Structure 1
Amino acid sequence: MDAVAIERAAGCEDRHWWHRERRAVIARELRRLGEPGRAIDIGAGGGGNTRVLLDHGWQAVAVDCCEAAVEIARRRGLEAYRSDPRFLPVATAEYDFVLALNVLEHAEDDQAVADEIARVLRPDGRALIAVPADPALWSTHDLSLGRVRRYTREALADVVHGAGLLVERMWSWNVLLRPVVSRRRRDSVGCDLGTPSPVLNGALSAVIRLERYLPVASFPGVTLMAGVRRPRGGGHVTGRRPR
């Protein structure tokens, strides 16, 4: 995503239905973890999700490979650094929680990114990973965002396990709107995450919030979420180090 797109996303994320509900997902996962600790938000963009971590009592730092994103995060008062996600500028086993939303799909070597997540996690540390689901949904939208791939459940599990991490939970998100998204992406050109009208934004918010109460997490969705843990006393730590 280029600097203009990041500025646009940061400007609308507080009211956009997709961003708001994804933050609700993050908040629910943080409540599951219990006592806050140290966290790193990889691919943080302008730091909107990093603020969720801070709001829940975590000591959080934002990291992104785009300088424009880092500057936006810093203007928001966040501790933020520019870094390649394969070579994070932090010590090994430094964090209790890693947030990596829509990061792996941008890397040609997604295993290297997963290895780095494992490296910076403390034993028994957790991560929340999100990736775009299902190669059948591939479209110009993905190309415009600089993605390399979309994932099946098996492909995401393979990358996570390859880093020596355990998948505790994996579920689909944005399930109810998948038919609409699939049709729109077949007919559209470029990114389709523009800000909808207030009425449409409200309607889409209501639909995706409904997923909180329906047993649809095992059905095909637009996004895959995975709750991941680094085993206590197990799992390999790669030889990669910060540059």
Structure 2
Amino acid sequence: MQEEEIARSAALEQRHWWYAERRELVRRTVAGWPVGRALDIGCGSGGNARVLAGLGWRVTGVEHSPEACRIAASRGLAVVRGDGTRLPLRDASMDLVLSTDVWEHIDDDAAVAAETARVLRPGGRALIAVPAGTALWGGHDVALGHFRRYEREGLAALVRGAGLEIDDLWSWNVLLRPVVRARRRRRTAPESEMEKVSPALNAGLRAAVMAERVLPLRRLPGVSLVVTAHKPRGARR
């Protein structure tokens, strides 16, 4: 992702409905898990890492972009510049590995999955979110430097292939999928969809995603896929 896009995303994330609900997804998923050491791979400007810190986790971010590192550090996050496929951390040193909307930016996603498993202690958990559905591929993906979007079966195989056991795998942002698909059919030029929206529209879009907390939609196609997994306690690495 270009540095200009990273700076723009950092400016948007405090109020934008998508970032706000992604932070809430992290909070609701992790709340109740025993706290310890957490790693946020591709932490960006640190929004999700700050959620973990607020829940009591000792968080380190790894980020490839110099601009994102600078912003995250300015917000008080312990961040290391590094590559998700070669994490600068010891084996079995983390209780939680978080990575939201990062794997699609990495050509060798099997390597980042393997590194996630390597740095997790036996019994440690992973929380991964990725964009879903090859049918939704469009100019937005090109503009953000995505290599792919994921289908449920492929993501499950990738996580299991790294040696992790899946606890849950579900769709997120289901209600807005038809809107996203229609928009991408109209707008094919490489252009990010992360842009300012009016307060009223922002509230409406956030309400649509919030409704999924109580509606039985998790097994239907969505805009994103989310997986929770753990490293088996008998694993050697």
TM-score range, shorter chain: over 0.9
1:129 aligns with 2:115: no
1:203 aligns with 2:204: yes
Of residues 24-33 and 139-148 in structure 1, the stretch that sits farther from structure 2 once superposed is 24-33
Shift of 1:32: 3.8
Classify the secondary structure of the residue corresponding to 2:91. Answer: coil
Q: Deviations over 1:142-196 (max 9, x none)?
A: 0111110111111001110110001110000000000001111111231111121
- Aligned residue number for residue 193 of structure 2: 192
User: CA separation in 2, counterparts of 1:195 and 1:92?
Assistant: 41
- Aligned residue number for residue 119 of structure 1: 118
Within-5 A mapping of 1:1-243: 1-33=1-33, 35-188=34-187, 189=189, 190-234=191-235, 237=237
- Aligned residue number for residue 241 of structure 1: none
Q: Deviations over 1:94-151 (max 9, x none)?
A: 1000001112111111100100000000000001001110111111110111110111
User: CA separation in 1, counterparts of 2:157 and 2:104?
Assistant: 14
Q: Deviations over 1:35-87 (max 9, x none)?
A: 21000000110011110010000000111110110000011111011111011
Give, as a single letter, the amino acid of the residue that structure 2 aligns with 1:211.
E
Classify the secondary structure of the residue corresponding to 2:80. Answer: strand
Structure 1 gap segments, 5+ residues each: 238-243
Structure 2 gap segments, 5+ residues each: none
Shift of 1:8: 1.0
TM-score by length of 1: 0.95
User: CA separation in 1, counterparts of 2:196 and 2:168?
Assistant: 31
Of residues 126-135 and 184-193 in structure 1, the stretch that sits farther from structure 2 once superposed is 184-193
Q: Which runs of 4+ in 1 moved over 4 A?
A: none
Shift of 1:218: 0.3
User: CA separation in 2, counterparts of 1:115 and 1:103?
Assistant: 14
When the two structures are aligned, how many residues end up with a matched partner? 235
Identity percentage over the alignment? 50
Classify the secondary structure of the residue corresponding to 1:14. Answer: coil
